[in-house]
Amino acid sequence: MATVAAPRRFCRCACFYTDNLYVARYGLHVRFRGEQQLLRDYGPILRSRGCVSAKDFQQLLAELEQEVERRQRLGPESAARKALIASSYHPARPEVYDSLQDAALAPEFLAAAEYSVSPGADLKGLLQRLETVSGQKRIYRVPVFTAPFCQALLEELEHFEQSDMPKGRPNTMNNYGVLLHELGLDEPLMTPLRERFLQPLMALLYPDCGGGRLDSHRAFVVKYALGQDLELGCHYDNAELTLNVALGKVFTGGALYFGGLFQAPTALTEPLEVEHVVGQGVLHRGGQLHGARPLGTGERWNLVVWLRASAVRNRLCPMCRCEPDLVDDEGFSDGFTREEPTAVDVCALT
């Protein structure tokens, strides 16, 4: 009897509403469960970074409470924006929304992905087709998109940015950019990129990080420009693995820097700097501490894809480092699932 896999329901960990809240003014991520807890856990470091008066602290409390409320509204508001964009937005480059074609991808990326699924493929052979930025830190680079596709995607993103459509910010650290699922680019572009190309690569590069079991993602574009976001503070990603592709434009500065894994006590000792190359993607573990140096001139746009494996994160939330306390949510959410997929009897559905 024929069976099909039941659709998976993805979830968040409840820590999304309490942990890893970014306070830009003090360059700090905090856990927030109340005034006394905040003062007890972060009082000394906050004072050392300029939060010294009662007024400073009350302002911080108000900002954190607002951020928690914003996170609680994210799912419904994002779904509403996506629906409005789908019904009312007119793309400048409609071909970007077509199903991902090999012609959009760099020959080197296609060759690496093709090798990864070939009989006898192994890590040694794959590394001959990639640039190893750091063997110790397991950071790699490979061209991902062709120059014409980068240009077309960038033109579409700029057109959307200049439109009157509502826009969700990528995360609490990036105030300029686009959530690709809201723009309608998840299904035609990002899902096939993950399933057909990135998963075979990651299975060989990072088998211990769920590279062969990637089942969801969060994709967004970030923009850096004078008068807007200029740099990115040190952080780690809510992902098992990350792809960061430079889309353009012309700029100076803004180099990525990488430390060690966030659990390491000397994680930021002698950070490694990596320059952006348009069209090329940097692959790294989500837990690798990293950031971006200040932009010098121009504009920089990057596509960031957080790659997630529920088989890994269902056991341990990468943000709170505990067994996840699951909360139902929309779409891929934060990549957690309540259970492994089950088979459904097709006859029961007809």
Query: What domains lie within the chain, and their CATH numbers?
Result: 8-19+89-339 (2.60.120.620)
Q: CA 166 from chain center: how many Å?
A: 20
pLDDT on residue 105: 97
Beta partners for 29?
Answer: 22
User: What is the sign of the dihedral through the CA atoms of 91, 92, 95 and 100?
Assistant: negative
The answer to whether 89 touches 64, Cβ cutoff 8 Å, is no
pLDDT on residue 50: 94
pTM of the entire predicted model: 0.87
Helix %, strand %, coil % of the chain (to 5): 35, 25, 35
Token duo for residue 243: 């792809």
Q: Is the backbone of residue 14 left (phi > 0), alpha (psi -120 to 50) or beta? A: alpha
Those residues of the chain that have pLDDT short of 50 are 1-4, 265, 341-350
Residue pointed to by tokens 């996840």: 324
